[in-house]
Amino acid sequence: MLGLENITIPIILPLGVMLLQVLFLLAAIPIEALVLHKMLKFDKKTSTFYAISINLISSSIGWILFFSVEPILPINLKAELISYIFFHNFKSQQTQALLILTAFIIFFLTFLMKFFLLRFSVISLKENLAEIYQQKFEKNRLKWERTSIYRLQNTNLVTSVLIANSLSYSAISLIILLSRK
């Protein structure tokens, strides 16, 4: 009827990896929401919304990139990847060095992605960060020049996202270490 008769569901699903991804998101979202709330002076609802949106979007983009890159990997890396996904171990010790390099690259790409997603969200939803900072610093100085406020806003946004991403990745690393046998 809908042309879905020929679609088959794979017999083996990496259910453990899917559940770990959900666990990672459940750990990362509150941590990042707290950092956004404390450092950017958003209310709790707004910071939670931003944390949920940037994490879900960046995770989705990450999985799309993974499934785009996976088919072009060499056979030995595919075998190592499958071994790690299903059995949580590597066949070769050389793969661990590559894993560490890949983890650093993923961390910084995720940081950049989250920064640009948050910046886009703030701009598109018309959050007035300059006004928040102006209220905060008005007691210390009479008025900030517009450029210095935007520079401060951009620096604070970068710092906040970097700290939030670092803390959430630390929590995720701890979860990975605790989940290993």
CA diameter of the chain: 70
Greater pLDDT, 66 or 165: 165
Instruction: For residue 131, give the nearest of 152, 112, 162, 101 by alpha carbon.
Output: 152
- Coil, strand or helix: which one is 4? coil
Phi and psi at residue 136, to the nearest 5°: -70, -40
For residue 55, give the 3-state DSSP assignment: helix
pLDDT for 144 equals: 45
pLDDT, one tens digit per residue, over 91-139 is: 777 777 887 888 899 999 999 999 999 888 887 776 555 555 555 555 4
In the DSSP assignment, the letter for residue 5 is T
pLDDT, greater one: 63 or 4: 63
pLDDT of residue 2: 55
Q: How many helices (H) and strands (E) does the chain have?
A: 6, 0
pLDDT, tens digit, for every residue of 20-31? 889 999 999 999
pLDDT in tens, 10-52: 556 667 778 888 999 999 999 999 999 998 888 899 999 999 9
pTM: predicted TM-score of the whole model, two decimal places: 0.73
User: Distances in Å between the alpha carbon of 82 and those of 14, 26, 176?
Assistant: 9, 25, 17
Contact between residue 42 and residue 36 where contact means Cβ atoms under 8 Å apart? yes
